[in-house]
Amino acid sequence: MIAGRGNKIRNGQKTLTHSLPHSRYKDVLGLKELRRHTSGRGSQLVFLKAPESEEEIELCKFDQSGPVVVGPDLTHLAFEVDDLEKFAREAAAKGYPLSDGPHQSSGGSKIAFIDAPEGYEIELIQRGRDL
pLDDT of residue 2: 35
pLDDT of residue 29: 82
In sequence order, which residues have a C-beta less than 8 Å from that of residue 109 and are 6 or more positions away?
Answer: 125, 126, 127, 128, 131
Q: Give the architecture-level CATH label for domain 4-126.
A: Roll (3.10)
User: What pLDDT tens digit does each residue of the chain (131 aa) get?
Assistant: 234 455 555 554 444 444 333 377 777 888 888 888 887 778 787 888 888 888 777 777 777 776 666 666 566 678 889 999 999 999 999 888 999 999 988 788 899 988 876 667 888 889 886 54
In sequence order, which residues have a C-beta less than 8 Å from that of residue 1 and are 6 or more positions away?
Answer: none
pTM: 0.68
